């Protein structure tokens, strides 16, 4: 009887032991798409998923879908509170049995700053490497060009941002307003930006954000050297316009976020955890050979 109970207990535990303890398989990857895109477009995230699976056999790749359908997922990249999106993603990651041993993540464009919020807010399961592909870590001040066929949406977005990027109505609904960073209205940004100012510790220091970000093994930032869509491209390496004007940019190392080390980025930099990669080409124009040579190593 006792032996039977023991056996049953062991059998119940077996999947847990094998599942959580088995580190022989590749580290899973979580992907978050950019503006106007979706989880599963075969020409964008579907393609990335496919080439990663080819290069790393057996890898589990989760391309995040925000909402229940692909159309909703695409719409939510324009019109949903980003804090709610991050909460939803954290919930998905916590429940996914394949991710419980930890994962790497790769965000495209705005997905890059959204996944950083996940790293800062949701330490479990642990994120190992965060790869931001053209992400706007210090936000944007302008939409010089918009991707693909969504130009009418972009015209509307510009109008909303002009009308009042930091009003409650616009902040709550328009994704791009939530990482709108106006260097001429730095105080308004710090006070009313519901997403970016929060994760960038503009309203005081959340020690957990700092601790969780510093727990990353590597934070890789890819900047497109000929980017005509992101204003300013320096934001892809966590730099931005020097406050009070919109011409001259400063690198991360000259921002107060770094010198005051409000987010742990200075310590991460000194520990060799920040990786700054530059690639020739316009926004998200990633040559596949470059991807293999420079990104795949961080997924292995």
Active site residues: 109, 227, 283
Of the two residues 58 and 272, which places its CB atom closer to ligand NAG in the complex?
Answer: 58
Total of chain residues touching ligand NAG, rule CB under 6 A: 8
Q: Is 97 in the site for ligand NAG (CB under 6 A)?
A: no
Whichever of 25 and 244 has its CB closer to ligand NAG, that residue is 25
Window contacting ligand NAG (CB under 6 A); options: 22-30, 82-90, 113-121, 193-201? 22-30
Q: How far is the CB of 236 from ligand NAG (least distance, A)?
A: 13
24 lies in the binding site for ligand NAG (CB under 6 A):
yes
Helix (H) or strand (E) holding 221: strand 218-224
Tell which one of 58, 148, 204, 272 touches ligand NAG (CB under 6 A).
Answer: 58
The yes or no reply on residue 280 touching ligand NAG (CB under 6 A) is yes
* 25 near ligand NAG, rule: CB under 6 A: yes
The residue within the footprint of ligand NAG, chosen from 69, 226, 256, 285 (CB under 6 A), is 226
Beta bridge partners of residue 219, listed in sequence order: 130, 274
Which parts of the chain fold into alpha helices (H)?
Answer: 2-21, 45-55, 70-79, 82-95, 110-121, 151-164, 168-173, 186-192, 196-199, 207-214, 256-259, 265-270, 288-294, 296-299
Q: How far is the CB of 228 from ligand NAG (least distance, A)?
A: 10
Residues 6+ apart with CB under 8 A from 45: 31, 33, 37, 38, 39, 63, 108
- Residue labelled with tokens 């093994």: 217
Query: CB of 22: closest distance to ligand NAG in angstroms?
Result: 4
Distance CA 110, CA 67 (A): 17
Least Cβ distance, residue 58 to ligand NAG (angstroms) = 5
Among 1, 11, 12, 18, binds ligand NAG (CB under 6 A): 18
Question: Which one of 16-24, 70-78, 174-182, 254-262 is the stretch in contact with ligand NAG (CB under 6 A)?
Answer: 16-24
Structure tokens at 158: 């510009």
CA 19 to mean position of chain CA atoms: 27
Helix 110-121, helix 82-95: angle, nearest 10: 60
Q: Which has the closest alpha carbon to 146: 158, 135, 131? A: 158
**Site residues (CB under 6 A) for ligand NAG?**
18, 22, 24-25, 58, 225-226, 280
């Amino acid at each position: 009887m006792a032996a039977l109970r023991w056996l049953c207990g062991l059998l119940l535990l077996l999947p847990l032991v094998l599942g959580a303890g088995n580190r022989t398989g590749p580290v899973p990857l979580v992907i978050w798409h950019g503006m106007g895109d979706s989880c599963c477009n075969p020409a964008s995230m579907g393609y990335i998923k496919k080439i990663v699976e080819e290069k790393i056999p057996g890898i589990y790749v989760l391309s995040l879908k925000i909402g229940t359908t692909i159309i909703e997922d695409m719409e939510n990249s324009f019109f949903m509170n980003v804090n709610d999106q991050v909460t939803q993603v954290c919930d998905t990651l916590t429940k996914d049995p394949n991710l419980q041993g930890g994962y790497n993540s790769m965000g495209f464009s705005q997905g890059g700053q959204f996944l950083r919020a996940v790293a800062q807010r949701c330490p479990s399961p642990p994120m190992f490497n965060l790869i931001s592909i053209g992400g706007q870590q210090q936000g944007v001040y302008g939409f010089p060009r918009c991707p693909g066929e969504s130009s009418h949406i972009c015209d509307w977005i510009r109008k909303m941002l002009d009308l009042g990027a930091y009003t409650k109505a616009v902040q709550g609904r328009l994704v791009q307003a939530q990482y709108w960073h106006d260097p001429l209205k730095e105080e308004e940004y710090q006070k009313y930006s519901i997403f970016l100012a929060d994760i960038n510790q503009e309203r005081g220091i959340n020690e957990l954000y700092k601790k969780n970000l510093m727990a990353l093994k590597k934070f890789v930032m890819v900047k497109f050297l000929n980017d005509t869509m992101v204003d300013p491209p320096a934001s892809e390496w966590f730099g931005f316009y020097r406050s009070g004007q919109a011409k001259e940019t400063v690198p991360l190392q000259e921002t107060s976020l770094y010198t005051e080390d409000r987010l742990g980025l200075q310590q991460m930099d000194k520990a060799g955890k920040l990786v700054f990669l530059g690639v020739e080409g316009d926004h998200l124009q990633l040559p596949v050979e470059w991807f293999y040579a420079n990104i795949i190593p961080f997924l292995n």
